[in-house]
Homo-oligomer: A and B are copies of this chain.
């Protein structure tokens, strides 16, 4: 037997399996109601449209769909995304767009292109665990900015941090994973002003932005930032990422980065080394399904279904959860986050929950430190009656453990 331990790279010390993806495996037992995953509802996948698009592809462009394509990605898909991102007034072109294999790859490539070992990063807390998975291997120094119901708290503390000239800030302004909270308009304006003042780049990760169920849509950071600079181009401090995973299907693995051209150039070079290109078939299929306005009607349908599920979950939580529990009230996206009294460890709680045939994701993975008394719930991947039943089970358990500790 060979000893591989002494052959592994140092960065593997900072790699670990995502607890969420591992928990997902455990909770696939059919008797468990799982709020653990981040899965879109498969019954809403537009299978008929996808099937029709596939037939059209085999008829019209089969060879092209199965052959290599450029690293940058399918031209017509890049044009389509660029046009969509330009609707707010910033003139984005295909040269600002790189197609990636899901937005996790956007995060990974941005890290490769921007992060040196030990760089200083600014994060909201809690934050997206997949970003931590990708970027921890650079052993960065994290400055953790607290959040409330309006997202990242933009105040003197943040300014103090930005004054230190960190390399990069990362945030999800819309329906953030894990909390589902949204950065308010006032804070966006103020944040963008501060980033410009201290010349700090930001990765604006927006996988859920189109899934809004209530309240008004807010401008993206890249839009506000261009506006403040008086620019009509994407040539500022924002690197923006989006994905088809939540509005179409995750299984095709198609996302994008929108960024200034010189950043895209480096991201293209990094992607050549990483995987040459994203699946040609996935890209053509995504384009053929989305075009001609289909995706907008489909998103409306998703919003209606997910809005109901969110409402059912929130109502059930009001009914069944003990008064000691608090939780976020998202205006969109797939998640909300629950905070329970500090003496309750949600990792331990999960074991009891699985006994009660209900599952969630413990919060610690979303925090650099702390979060033991928090957990994330997903409401997109269960029918309303299952949500009601699952929250009932979880509420019963929460009341037990809350009382148990008080006694």
A115 at the B interface (CB under 8 A): yes
Q: Across the interface, do B133 and A4 meet the contact criterion of CB distance under 8 Å?
A: no
A40 cross-chain contacts in B, Cβ below 8 A: 67
* A98 → chain B closest CB, angstroms: 13
**Contact among B64, B69, B167 for A7, CB-based, below 8 A:** B167
Complex A-B, nearest 7 residue pairs according to Cβ-Cβ distance, in ascending order = A251-B280, A66-B249, A42-B63, A134-B273, A15-B269, A66-B251, A105-B275
Contact assessment for A130 and B273 in the assembled complex, using a CB-CB cutoff below 8 Å = yes
Complex A-B: 21 CB contacts under 8 Å: A5-B262, A9-B116, A11-B116, A12-B266, A15-B270, A42-B64, A42-B66, A45-B62, A66-B250, A66-B251, A67-B250, A68-B250, A68-B251, A102-B276, A104-B276, A133-B273, A134-B273, A250-B280, A251-B280, A252-B279, A253-B278
A25 on interface, CB distance cutoff 8 Å: yes
Please name all residues of chain B whose beta carbon is closer than 8 Å to the beta carbon of A311 when the two chains form the complex: none
Q: Is A50 an interface residue (CB 8 A)?
A: yes
**Listed stretches A16-24, A329-337, A371-379; interface member:** A16-24
The 8 A CB mask of A257-284 against B (1 = contact, 0 = none) is 0001011001011101111111111100
CA of A174 to CA of B268, assembled, Å:
29
A256 CA to B58 CA, complexed, in Å: 26
Query: Is A236 part of the contact surface with B, judged by Cβ < 8 Å?
Result: yes
- Chain B residue numbers with a CB within 8 Å of A68 are 37, 39, 250-251
A210 interfacial contact with B, CB 8 Å: no
Smallest Cβ-Cβ distance to A284: which chain B residue: B251
- Does B279 contact A9, Cβ atoms closer than 8 Å? no
* Contact between B66 and A58, CB atoms less than 8 A apart: no
Option from B62, B113, B116, B277 in Cβ contact (under 8 Å) with A47: B62
- Looking at A51, A167, A274, A277, the one whose CB has the most chain B CB atoms below 10 A away is A274
Point out which of A113, A130, A201 has the most chain B C-beta atoms below 10 A from its C-beta: A113
Interface string of A46-75 (1 = CB under 8 A from B): 010011001100100011111111110000
Q: How far does the alpha carbon of A80 sit from the alpha carbon of B232 in the complex, in Å?
A: 52
B residues less than 8 Å from A237 (CB atoms) = 2
Cβ A65 vs Cβ B273 within 8 A? no
**Copies of this chain, tallied across the complex:** 2
- Residues A251 and B69 in contact, CB atoms below 8 Å apart: yes
Nearest Cβ in chain B — how far from A305, in angstroms? Answer: 15
- Is A101 among interface residues, defined by CB-CB distance under 8 A? yes
Known contacts A11-B112, A108-B275; 14 additional CB pairs below 8 A are A2-B237, A39-B67, A45-B62, A45-B66, A45-B67, A50-B58, A54-B54, A68-B251, A134-B274, A251-B279, A252-B280, A252-B281, A253-B280, A275-B275
In the assembled complex, which residues on chain B have CB atoms less than 8 Å from the CB atom of A281? 251-252, 281-282, 285
Asked whether A201 lies within 8 Å of B7 as measured between CB atoms, the reply is yes
A198–B100 Cα distance when bound, in Å, is 40
CB within 8 Å for A268 and B2 given contacts A11-B112, A104-B275, A104-B276: no
| Complex alpha-carbon distance, A134 and B47, angstroms | 37
Proximity string of chain A (327-354) to chain B, C-beta cutoff 8 Å, 1 when within and 0 when not: 0000000000000000000000000000
